Amino acid sequence: QAPLVESGGGLVQAGGSLSLSCAASGRAASGRSLRTYAMGWFRQAPGKVREFVAAINWSGGSTDYADSVKGRFTISRDNPKNTVYMQMNSLKPEDTAVYYCAADLTYVGVKTRPDYWGQGTQVTVSS
């Protein structure tokens, strides 16, 4: 299983910004480079189900966002660094959640049932 490690979470005031990072191992157990994997971000608030936030395909040429974050969050990736990012602007208290990095062999898969998950990083937005 490919390890994914998130960082960058923290406490911010409403209207503030955070940038999350997810560092991935260079290759999966099969030997396939993770540069070819689709990547994404999910979040889970207390008492809520885990929900899709954003996804990016292997090349970075295609992205998708949940309606709740569209226009405020931006997902990107730096394949030579094996890292995916999510810039989060205009944060709202309802954005408070644990944010999880995810990976899958296909773009469709990463938006629905990712094969790999990170440990999560806490984002708290105060009012």
* Residues 64-94 pLDDT 10s: 999 999 999 999 999 888 899 999 999 999 9
Residue/partner pairs of 118-122 with CB below 8 Å, 24 or more apart: 118/3, 118/4, 118/5, 118/6, 118/22, 119/4, 119/5, 119/6, 120/6, 120/44, 121/6, 121/7, 121/8, 121/9, 121/20, 122/9, 122/10, 122/98
The pLDDT of residue 26 is: 67
Question: What's the pLDDT tens digit per position in 27-70?
Answer: 776 777 777 899 999 999 999 999 999 999 999 999 999 999 99
